[in-house]
Amino acid sequence: MATDYYVDADSGSDANGGTSWGDAKEHLQAAIDLITGVVNDQTTIHLKAGTTAEYTQEVTIRGIRPLGADGGLTIQPEIWTQSNYDDAMAFANGYGGLTLENCYLDSMPLPVVAYANSTVSLMGDVYIVNPFITGIWALVKSNVYIAPWTEKPMDYYTLQIKTTSPRQTDFAAIKAVGSSYVFVKSGDINPWDLSVSRVEITNDLDVLPPNYYGVVLESASLLQGASLMSFKTKNKKGDYVDMPAANCFARRNSIDTLSV
């Protein structure tokens, strides 16, 4: 079962129903507003290709909850080629931007992907539970920005990634590849800005896999804010202990850099 909505920036109208190209909405936000509450099927918003007008307006996705194996929301261009990123829940591509505020992402191969000069912002309390391959993946000159929620910057500030059953031998909770950048807000930019973010990465298995890493940096990628990150794993008694330093960070090129 699937639900499809259509957006045509040139010929559409927000007064339309949005259920076909002939009845397309003009703006992406108008199509998103058609979706409320629980999404238990594959819901797709199609963007008309080749339009004169652009789809660069800011949009808000709020209160939409995927349910079950088939539940999900996809926003994609009319001309779409299947790729290795089909299992991503939140996917920003090609100078696009995506902001997730106070979100919960559960049991997905690739919950968050920033690709090809795009930016993903994770704001407030964001929980990523049981990612199978990588929790957050930034590649090809992309950025991941981790910060408190702007409406309550002192109350909501933690990104948590908890792994219970990784299905990849070489697993990374956060992976940056190809001159990408991961920034954890420290509050040091302005002296009057005291709000900071935290990142907690936890292996919830009694045994830490040998190739489990909190953060992997490859190909001239950068992490800023390492001191605001914590790494925990379970011992054989089931108690949480600090993860070995060798599993917290992995740099796979000599020019990769990490900053506290």
Residues 222 and 152 in one domain: yes
Alpha carbon 253 to its chain's center: 24
Higher pLDDT: 22 or 260? It is 22
Average pLDDT over residues 40-69: 80
Note whether 216 and 172 are within 8 A (CB).
yes
Note whether 115 and 98 are within 8 A (CB).
no
Domain boundary residue among 23, 54, 80? 80
Residues 213 and 123 in one domain: yes
Residue of 221, 212, 208, 233 lying closest to 259 (CA atoms): 221
Describe the chain by its helix, strand, coil percentages, rounded to 5: 5, 40, 50
Grouping H, G, I as helix, E, B as strand and the rest as coil, residue 242 is: strand
Residue of 83, 71, 9 lying closest to 38 (CA atoms): 71
Residue of 193, 199, 187 lying closest to 223 (CA atoms): 199
pTM for this structure?
Answer: 0.69
Tokens 């992976």 belong to residue: 175
Residues 113 and 217 in one domain: yes
Give me the residues paired with residue 202 across strands: 162, 232
Which segments of the chain does DSSP mark as H helices, in order? 28-32, 245-248
Residues 4 and 127 in one domain: no
Residues 123 and 64 in one domain: no
Higher pLDDT: 68 or 201? It is 201
Q: Is pLDDT above 60 for 13?
A: yes
Residues 191 and 133 in one domain: yes
- What proportion of the chain, given as a percentage, has pLDDT over 90? 45
Name the pLDDT band for 223 (thresholds 50, 70, 90): very high
Residues 59 and 19 in one domain: yes
Higher pLDDT: 166 or 173? It is 173
Q: Is pLDDT above 80 for 68?
A: no
Residues 192 and 117 in one domain: yes
From CA 174, how far away is CA 260, in angstroms rounded? 16
Q: Is pLDDT above 50 for 83?
A: no
Domain boundary residue among 80, 100, 134? 80
From CA 13, how far away is CA 144, in angstroms rounded? 34
> Domain range spanning residue 187?
85-260
